[in-house]
Every structure is written in structure tokens, then in C-alpha cells.
Amino acid sequence: MGEVKKHDTPLMDELKSGPWPSFVDDIYSYAEKHKKQAGFDIMGQMELSYKNKETHWKHGGIVGVFGYGGGVIGRYSDQQEKFPAIWAFHTVRVNQPAAKWYHSSALRKLCDLWDHRGSGIMNLHGSTGDIILLGTVTEQLEYIFYDLTHQLNMDLGGSGSNLRTPECCMGMSRCEWSCIDTQDMIHEFTNQFQDELHRPAFPYKFKIKISGCPNDCVAAIARSDFSIIGTWRDDIRIDQEAVRAYVGGELKPNAGAHSDRDWGPFDIKKEVIDLCPTKCMHWDEGQKKLYINNAECNRCMHCINVMPEALRPGLDTGATILMGAKAPILEGAQLSTVIIPFIKTEPPYDNIKNLIYKVWDYWMENGKNRERLGETIQRIGLNRFIVDVLGLKPLPQHVREPRSNPYIFWKEEEVEGGWTRDVAEFRKRHPA
């Protein structure tokens, strides 16, 4: 290791003055310790970006590893003479384990790998869920891929117009509300969809995210093309004694999460009953008993979150399938839409896999370039997608808003005799 060249970075240094830990301190201390010129050059280029108020990264072409079409995002500096150590600063996405559980030895090996092959700068995790290894050069990519797969038993994640790395919450490994085994499902889907994950063939990106309950801790409904949300279809389980304990102040609401100040005595009507979105709950003060009209419950989880020792999800569990969430790209941002209100989830989950394949078959054939699934649904209409593409029956749960289009369009097979008319027969009925 030779001497490193430092740059004057007053704007970046300003970020070190706040009350919170700074990434600037982290990068500088790492670069000093390991004599990494890339650490100082990245700060120098960022200083220039702050000064000019524009990026100095350019996309100079496609880079990757042999046999894969994704997993590496090429990044090149347009200030290579000033900052030669970051002439290339490629990002490597690594497929995270389900629910992001790690053994400490695996993390140490990963850090050692990146110290040796890259900049040493990592992000755990990217917004899609991947482990993000920030900054390496083209010549190191095959070595990194070999070490990941042979030494760490890890694989690259997804990038480009393909299936992005599937992601899930902690599920049954840690959460008592989880209605489905999110980790097993993610492991199964990741193995099943290897070709779609590594070899881009889609109109644009496709994300699968799984949450174990309607709290949706991975924001699947806001961020994924195919959202799987654990739910139940029987009654919420009620412990009436525990409900009375909450009302009487013996148990703290929200598991004590808001105990930083005195909010006054717990008011079940104000904090639970009146906040129920479907008004399906009733507290009988005389009987000291909670009633729930489960047929009207939409599984929002609010009452369960407020009184976790009194209320629990039902026992007949499965998942709700929603589709079409996306960021504002061609059209505005949107949440995913309920497609299947309830489906059982049993290994190997062939019913869900077949549904995903059916969606992909249509979208790959009919989706436009850089068009997310949600935008395809917007373009062709939700009714056509549900009935014609998926072969499902329309349900009340499919209604997002009252109709605004006054026209009804019939298909030819729905009209007696179709569109064809006999001119001679018409003239017999309507003589000149």
C-alpha cells in the first residue's frame, strides 16, 4: 500500500458536525485504516457533486458476470483524471437471506471479501432488499462472483428488466402475528424463479414481496408488482379477560410502545372502537364485553396492535394476493390492487407459482417497454385483466372506487348472434 492522496472537502466535512453518526466519518476512517484511495476519491467526487449540484456518475455501458444478465450495475466517473481510483465504481447486488437473518461468520466473510475485492463500502440493505456492495472495477467482477458462490454460498440479486430479488418480513421466525411462513415461501420462489431472476426478459422490473400479516412490514402493497399478505378468514380470537384488563388499566395498550408520556387512562371507545375503519366493533360497557362483526372486518390489524394480549388473528390462515404497485414512472405512483382475497399457502405453493406464470405470460407478450405490471393493468383495464387474463370472477373486493365511465362495452360472444347481421333478413323487416 502506498501513500494516499486526500482532497479538500469542506462541504462533506460539514456533514460531520451534526448530532448523528456520519457516513463521512465512516468512509474517511475506513480509508485511513486500509489506505484505500477509493475512499478519498469518492469523497472528493461527492464534494464536487455538492458544489455543482449535479452527479458526476455516468452510465458507460453494461457490465456483469458470465451467464447472468443482472446483478451488477455499471457506474463510471466522469472525473477520472481527478479521481482515478473510482474510474469505475460498479455496484454488486447480493441476494439477501430470507428475512435478512445472518450468521456473524457469514457477515465477517462478506466484509473480508469486499475489503479485498472492492471499496469496502456496503449498504445493508437496498430498497429491494439486496445486500449492496458499493464500488469495484470491472476486472474484479468474476472473482467476486466466484468467491460469493463458492466461499459464501451466496448469489447475485436481480437488476434490470427481470425479477428483482424476492423479499419478506421476519414472519414466523420472530413475529407472533404472521399468518404464513414468509421465509419458506421466499426460499421456494427464489429457487423456482432463478431464470427470471438472472436473465432479463421482462418489459421492466417485477417485484415479489411477502408480508406475514396485514401490518405489511415490508411495504409490499406500496412497492411490489406481486404482493402476498398473510391473513385469516375465520374470526379474530378474543380473550375477554385481557380486554377488561386493558380497559381497567392493568395492561398497557400498544404493548407499552407510547409510554414516553402520560396519555391518560386507556379509552377503548376512542382508541379502538371509533378508529375501526368498517365500524365492526362494539364495546358493551354494561357487560364489559367486546363484540366483533367479523363479516365486516377488513383485517386492518389496528385493534390487534393496540390490544395484543387480548386479540389475535384467526386460525384459518392464508394470503391475500394483490398486484400492480409501482413508483411514479410512466404514470403516477399507485398501491397494489386486491386480485385474490384469500388463497391457501401450502408448500410447494404451486397455486401461487402458476398464478405468477400466468401473469408473466401475458405481461411479457403485451407489456410495453419500461411498463410495470400496474401500468399494463391501467392501460387494459382492471376488469379485462381479472376476467380475460387471469380467468377469475369479479368480486366486490376488486372495486377500488365507484365507476366513472357511463359506457358499457359488450363482447361479441355476449351478444345474441354476435356482430354479424344478415342484410337480406334486415331488408325483409325494413322494406324501402
Tell me if the pTM is above 0.75.
yes
279/383 same-domain check = no
Domain residue limits at 375: 160-231+317-431
pLDDT at position 90 is 95
pLDDT at position 261 is 85
**pLDDT tier for residue 105 given thresholds of 50, 70 and 90:** very high
- The mean per-residue pLDDT over the stretch 95-115 comes to 95
Mean pLDDT of the chain: 94
276/410 same-domain check = no
Q: Quote the percentage of the chain above a pLDDT of 70.
A: 99
322/204 same-domain check = yes
Using the predicted structure, report yes or no on whether residue 61 has a pLDDT greater than 80: no
pLDDT at position 409 is 83
67/155 same-domain check = yes
113/192 same-domain check = no
CATH number at residue 167: 3.30.413.10
CATH number at residue 250: 3.30.70.20
CA–CA separation, 263 and 260 (whole Å):
9
**pLDDT tier for residue 432 given thresholds of 50, 70 and 90:** confident
**pLDDT tier for residue 407 given thresholds of 50, 70 and 90:** confident
Provide the angle, in degrees to the nearest 10, between the axes of the packed helices 350-366 and 182-192. 50
* End-to-end C-alpha distance for the chain, whole angstroms: 100
| Closest alpha carbon to 233 in 382, 121, 397 | 397
Q: What angle do CA 56, 7, 85 make, to 5 degrees?
A: 60
Query: What 8-state DSSP symbol labels residue 288?
Result: T
202/215 same-domain check = yes
- Of the three residues 159, 191, 222, the one that is the final residue of a domain is 159
Q: What is the pLDDT of residues 176-208, one digit of tens each?
A: 999 999 999 999 999 999 999 999 999 999 999
**pLDDT tier for residue 59 given thresholds of 50, 70 and 90:** confident
Q: Quote the percentage of the chain above a pLDDT of 90.
A: 82
331/409 same-domain check = yes
- The mean per-residue pLDDT over the stretch 82-90 comes to 95
CA–CA separation, 3 and 387 (whole Å):
67
pLDDT at position 380 is 93
Do 52 and 38 form a contact (C-beta atoms < 8 A)? no
pLDDT at position 60 is 63
289/261 same-domain check = yes
198/124 same-domain check = no
**pLDDT tier for residue 426 given thresholds of 50, 70 and 90:** confident
| Closest alpha carbon to 303 in 316, 315, 313 | 313
83/199 same-domain check = no
CATH number at residue 117: 3.30.70.2500
Using the predicted structure, report yes or no on whether residue 420 has a pLDDT greater than 60: yes
Tally of domains in the chain: 3
132/249 same-domain check = no
| Amino acid of residue 236 | I
- Of the three residues 134, 159, 184, the one that is the final residue of a domain is 159
381/246 same-domain check = no
Collapsing DSSP to helix, strand or coil, 185 comes out as: helix
DSSP 302-369: HHHHHSTTTEE--SSEEEEEEE--B-SSSS--B--EEEEEEE---TT-HHHHHHHHHHHHHHHHHPPT
pLDDT at position 93 is 96
| Amino acid of residue 263 | W
- The mean per-residue pLDDT over the stretch 31-57 comes to 95
Q: What is the pLDDT of residues 120-176, one digit of tens each?
A: 999 999 888 999 999 999 999 999 999 999 999 999 999 989 999 999 999 999 999
- Of the three residues 138, 159, 180, the one that is the final residue of a domain is 159
CA–CA separation, 126 and 148 (whole Å):
18
pLDDT at position 2 is 64
